Chains A and B, each alone.
Chain A
Amino acid sequence: MRRERWRLIATAAFVAILLSPAIRPGDGVPLSSYPMYASPRSGEVEFVVAHGLTASGEAVPLRITVVAGTSDPLIAETWLRGEVIAGRSVALCQTVAERIEAPEIIEVEVRSERHDVVAQVQGRSSLLEAETVARCPVGVEPT
């Protein structure tokens, strides 16, 4: 019986550790309060996007692996936004430009865009506001 009680105490401590992120600030690894999608979200969201530009100025969509070097949209979005917030928009643009292989794309443009996300999903016009944060040529050595 004594071992059973010790096992119960150890398990209670294990559960307390797992639940601790719910009562202390911050989030971590591997203990977390799993706050993703827990907070309400506005229907208007700002995204950082990158696309290629042809010689005629036509915008060409880029694959996620070209833009962010990953196929995970969450990682890609976080990285793009983080680079712009940290003031590394030009470096971000040059990193994307280095991955461009399509010959018709001569420039990369990085933009901060605010979208009505519901309209975006429904196929309607969604762009509310846009600002170019960086433009850089393709095929030029980064400074």
Chain B
Amino acid sequence: MSGQRPSKQVEPSKQVGPSEWIDGMAQWLSTPAPAERLGLLRIAISGFVTIYLAATAAEFSRLATTPKAAFDPVGLARLLNEPLSSELVWVGFALLLGLGALATVGWRYRIVGPLFGLGVLAWTSYHSSWGQLLHFEHLFTLHLLVLGFAPAADAVAVDARRTPAPTDNVRYGWPVRLLAIATVTTYFLSGLAKLRHTGVAWFDPDTLRNHIAYSASRIDLVGGPTPPLARIVVDRSWLLAPMAAAGLAVELGAPLALAWRRFRNWWLGSAILFHLGTAATMLVFFGYRGLGVGLLPLLPVERAKVAWETRRA
């Protein structure tokens, strides 16, 4: 028929059912990644934890001299009948620093990696065995356990110096996915806990106000610096409900950052702001996340290296 545009063929609509969704998830988990990505994450995460351990040497000193009666073991520390002697605490400190340095540079990683991950698990269990769980240490412990049993030194590592650069492979991609899943799950659990324990009262301004006031008062009374924005926020109750909602959105929305790249970038920025906010109002700062290290598994970190090398060239 001249003069008429051919009718557009309409394909039957393709419904995405559970089977297609499962296949999509399986493909996402099996996406190959460069060995360099996993190697750079090894360097960043192991390096951060090693520096953190060194910077918190005073904690080893404190626990080496804390009275035994205060020992309340959790995690791996339940294997102990009594606290470690001060000598063993310091031996453990030296071992962890050594393993951390070797893991960071990727030397004999097949042995060092698992040892460092398990060593940090032992330390964080012991560190939390004195009446207070130190949740800020949980995520990097999980990350090191995943990294420790992954081929994370096949690139950007001492172990990899004399071997040809490996091609992209799912054996590098899958551990990166697991690291990212661990990151977003910890945020999601935190948001879920707020809904479970507080419910809609979380959006009541008094809820967040009391949390901020409690943290600021604790610091002031125990002897420390005042959070810079605590009073400003407490004096302005109209700020509190939006802040509470925004914080909850960051936490519960974290898993969506795995699904869409653009949302991922927004979420990463929001998460950093969230941590800066808790630092400024409550002097609560989960450094591993707030400094971005714990968020790196969501990013193609090897591109930063490529960009740097391109700029230098």
**A→B interface (CB under 8 Å):** 1, 3-5, 7-8, 11, 14-15, 18-19, 21-22, 27-43, 45, 47, 49, 61-64, 66-71, 73-80, 82-83, 86, 88, 91, 113, 115, 117-118, 120-123, 126
Contact = CB atoms under 8 A, between A and B. Distances in A.
B138 A32 contact: yes
B131 A82 contact: yes
Interface in B192-214: 192-194, 196-198, 201, 206-207, 209-214
A73 B219 contact: yes
Contacts of B121: 29-30
Nearest to B201: A40
A6 B141 CA distance: 25
Interface residues on B, range: 35 or more
B29 A4 contact: yes
Contacts of B135: 32, 34, 36
Main secondary structure of the interface of B (DSSP, over half): helix
Nearest to B189: A34
Interface stretch (B45-53, B62-70, B262-270, B297-305): B62-70
Closest 4 CB pairs of A and B: A29-B75, A78-B132, A38-B193, A64-B223
Nearest to B127: A29
B59 interface: yes
Given A7-B26, A22-B192, A45-B214, A14 B178 contact: yes
Given A7-B26, A64-B222, A41 B210 contact: yes
Contacts of B93: none
B16 interface: no
A50 to B, nearest CB: 9
B70 A83 contact: yes
Contact of A120 (B141, B170, B213): B213
Interface string B219-235: 11111100000110011
11 contacts: A14-B178, A40-B197, A41-B214, A69-B58, A71-B224, A79-B132, A118-B213, A120-B217, A121-B231, A122-B234, A122-B235
Given A42-B210, A118-B213, A80 B75 contact: no
Contacts of B76: 29
B176 interface: no
Given A31-B138, A39-B198, A88-B69, 16 more contacts: A11-B178, A19-B189, A30-B145, A32-B133, A34-B138, A38-B197, A43-B210, A66-B223, A69-B58, A70-B62, A74-B132, A78-B130, A79-B132, A86-B69, A117-B216, A120-B221
A45 B223 contact: no
Interface stretch (B3-11, B99-107, B157-165, B179-187): B179-187
Contacts of A18: 142, 181-182, 185-186, 189
Given A11-B29, A74-B132, A82-B131, A64 B224 contact: yes
Given A8-B25, A41-B210, A121 B234 contact: yes
Contacts of A91: 67
B80 interface: no
Nearest to A35: B193
Contacts of B174: 7, 11
Contacts of B223: 61-64, 66-67, 76
Contacts of A42: 210
Interface in B16-45: 22, 25-27, 29-30
